[in-house]
Structure 1
Amino acid sequence: MKSRYQIIFSCVVLAFALSQCKKTNTEDSGCVAPSLDNIVPLANPTTIVPATDWIKVESGEFTMGNFSTKRDDPKNEKQPDELPAHKVSLDGFYISKYQVTMKQYLAFCDATGWPKPQEPYFKWGKTADSLNRPIVNVSWYDAKAYAKWVGARLLTEAEWEYAARGGHLGSAPAVDTMYLSGGPYTYYTGAEKSTKIDLTSLAWFRDNTSNQGPKPVGTKESGRVDKNDDVSATKYLTVKGEKVYNAGPGDNRLETYDMIGNVWEWCEDWYDKDYYKNSPASNPKGPQNGLNRVIRGQAWNSLKEYCRVANRGSFSPCSKYDNVGIRLAKPL
């Protein structure tokens, strides 16, 4: 059980982390949903999002939420809204390999007349590297508009976490230990074995961005350690009575990039801190209403203790920040 002083310290840290989000508009009442009726989907969206940028995620079941033990999480960093850990089954879907880039989103604005986002303090830039950074300062509605234009949608929160854990190939219950603070980070593959890794090899966050904005997409492959690894019988082990794939530390066999860090990603769901207590077991889509929409994945200015797959966040759907962007999904 946390002491009073630990709780106070945790609250101070969280308040500080949220204060680092540079807001470009108000987040309180008065949020009005813009109409998307004039957004006409592209006849050929592959001119913006190449077919090779979509990754197929097979249907499957996984453990959603924080299931870390005291051994995995000696500092007890789990948050109440990450509990309880629960089983979820999902239909298959496609996920975009990369976060939506500045170049892609600004092309959408030019083509449709949708308002361009305010330039962040670190500037858009005109070089290829600059334009390949993830778009920021976009609201949830902006994300929905862009998604409609390219014939896609936002991920549900459950789809996001499933993909971040590697989909059906890497959903081992032990995987959540890969993003605990205090580095080097410990990843447990069994009762006795462990591998120490460094979060800087997995994600862009405060310690390796100098707090100066996001990096070009596609430079952190969500911790994939061994690109030549096979899925074979010898790669399975039993964890908590379940036969699971023995993924490497942060191993995302889907080959998506920046699932942790760089920029937060808008999800489809309304946010409810208690949703996990009553979440459907099959294809959960979040509560029917709410005040804030879910964001996932952390960002370039995140503290390392929050860079965990299970960690949840939320903002008003009208809010725009220089560390919140977009990742897309579409049906199979």
Structure 2
Amino acid sequence: MTRPDAMPVKGCCVPQRDTAVTRAPDIRPATAGTAAGDWGVPIPGGPATIGTDAPVFPADGEAPARRVMLRPYRLDAHAVTNGRFAAFVDATGYRTEAERHGWSFVFHAFVPQGLDTPAPEQTPWWRRVDGACWSAPEGPGSSVADRLDHPAIHIAWSDAATFAAWAGGRLPTEAEWEHAARGGKPAAPFPWGTAEPDDTGTLPCNIWQGDFPHCNTGADGFVGTAPVGGFMPNGYGLYQMCGNVWEWCADTFRIRSLSRTAKTRNLTASEGRERVMKGGSYLCHRSYCYRYRIAARVGHPPDTSAGHTGFRVAYDS
């Protein structure tokens, strides 16, 4: 296994589109059934430690550790499910970025055999699949009918923000997300504490086991998404804050550094209107994408979608 401090600083396994962002339609807020009180778990406010002084990927802006003050808020106990997202679509007629673009990225192992799909040069384990979207995760012919309790995927930031407003909430800030993920353990690198996941016996979350991107042993029981209530919750009663799917935050992506590299990265992020994603996914592994740590972060444009991008909703108390 490669040591984290020896790993190359690569962009995480979230590919980006090279097309213009489309404009999402206006959606009226929900009036019943998906109100904030139906979903949010109370999260205490007060001082919170965000970031880390021991970054694994300094270029991602994981450092420095800093103290912030937060108001009390509420956060979904788990990522928004296919079932809940389907109710939103039924009520509003909303079409996601993936549907408006006509395609999204599907992990190569899930692409139907015989389908000719192009692969991004930098992330060849992804395939562009026409028709792939939240309701057809692997493309035409696939369905979420048997995955209604799994997280909705192929979700772009703009999709997540629209749903959150409809549900009477908003996307969490990065600080709120990290504070909630720690579950009352300010120094913990993971929602469950300090135990490092491995490929055999310590399996506290849904990430990759084996040789990425070729062989996932599925030792944790899953090779793709898992039901949102799977694995143990953290101290606040929140499920799968790390692993399973990447989760969008409200914040624009920015690195807190005056270095030339950081300035260049921030300029790129600003031009692309990039937003923060947290938590890693079922494709993360310590040998490559060691970003299922709470302090880990990446930034991507708001129309980015793939087979492991999801979200959860925050609510003001």
TM-score (norm 1): 0.67
- CA contact 2:279–2:291 (8 Å) conserved in 1: no
Q: Distance in 2 between matches of 1:199 and 1:292?
A: 34
Q: 2:293 aligns with which of 299, 308, 316?
A: 308
Map residues 201-280 of structure 1 onto 2, 5 A cutoff: 202-207=204-209, 208=219, 212-222=223-233, 252-274=234-256
| Cα deviations by residue, 1:118-158 (Å, 9 ceiling, x for unpaired) | 1222843323xx11100000111111111111111100000
Q: State the 1:114 CA deviation.
A: 0.8
SS at match of 2:47: strand
Matched, 1:59 2:72: no
SS at match of 1:56: strand
Matched, 1:40 2:37: no
| Cα deviations by residue, 1:262-303 (Å, 9 ceiling, x for unpaired) | 1010100010122799xxxxxxxxx99863110001111111
Matched, 1:125 2:104: no
Change (3 A) 1:182 1:103: closer
Map residues 4-83 of structure 1 onto 2, 5 A cutoff: 10-11=7-8, 14-15=10-11, 17-18=12-13, 21=14, 27-28=17-18, 30-32=20-22, 34-37=23-26, 39-44=27-32, 47-48=33-34, 51=37, 53-68=39-54, 77-80=56-59, 81-83=61-63
Q: State the 1:65 CA deviation.
A: 0.8
Cα RMSD for the two superposed structures: 3.2
SS at match of 1:114: coil
- CA contact 2:4–2:56 (8 Å) conserved in 1: no
- CA contact 1:211–1:301 (8 Å) conserved in 2: no
Over the matched positions of the two proteins, sequence identity in percent amounts to 27
Q: State the 1:6 CA deviation.
A: 8.0
Q: Distance in 1 between matches of 2:257 and 2:75?
A: 24
Residue ranges of structure 1 left out of the alignment (5+ in a row): 69-75, 185-196, 223-251, 278-286
Q: Which residue of 2 aligns with 1:176?
A: 189
Q: Distance in 2 between matches of 1:160 and 1:87?
A: 14
SS at match of 1:99: coil
User: What amino acid is aligned across from residue 43 of structure 1 in structure 2?
Assistant: T
Q: Which residue of 2 aligns with 1:145?
A: 162
Q: Distance in 2 between matches of 1:276 and 1:93?
A: 32
Q: 1:103 aligns with which of 83, 99, 103?
A: 83
Q: State the 1:162 CA deviation.
A: 0.4
Q: Distance in 2 between matches of 1:267 and 1:50?
A: 17
More helix by share: 1
User: What amino acid is aligned across from residue 120 of structure 1 in structure 2?
Assistant: P
Residue ranges of structure 2 left out of the alignment (5+ in a row): 100-132, 210-218, 260-268
Change (3 A) 1:275 1:317: farther
Change (3 A) 1:217 1:7: closer
User: What amino acid is aligned across from residue 176 of structure 1 in structure 2?
Assistant: P
Q: Which residue of 2 aligns with 1:295?
A: 277
